[in-house]
Amino acid sequence: MQKTNFCYVDHTHFNCIFPNGNVGKCDNEKPEDAKGVLTESGDILWKTEYRFIQYHQLSSGSECVECKYLPFCMGPCPRRREEMYVQHKHIVCQHKDKEEAMEKVIVDYCEKNSDFYNI
């Protein structure tokens, strides 16, 4: 089922410290691909910047800005946004040509949570 909130990685102070001492922004990345390292003093030394930090779902040029499903889907995860930037130079709507599937996700979500929301 589609996630209905921003990824925790989007939080400014979220960092994933891997057993090898590397530090990344996403716990789904491989430790060897992490862009930071934990120093002896406990500071993080970033070798390079994560691009997704520079832009987000509401950035200029993001297709999410125009997408009617943004309030529900909240856009792609940071890792996916980084891939989109490399490939397309902007964030691409994840639900283009998938309206029927997305509407089913919304209906399923509402049905599953109707007791919680007293609907």
* 62-102 tens-digit pLDDT: 787 778 887 777 788 888 888 888 888 888 887 777 777 77
Confidence of residue 57 (pLDDT cuts 50, 70, 90): low
**What pLDDT digit, counting tens, does each position of 7-40 carry?**
778 777 888 999 999 999 888 889 998 999 999 9
In our burial notation (b when 16+ CB lie closer than 10 A, e otherwise), range 22-60 reads bbbbbeebeeeebebbbeeeeeeeeeeebebeebebebe
Domain positions in the chain: 8-112
pTM above 0.85, yes or no: no
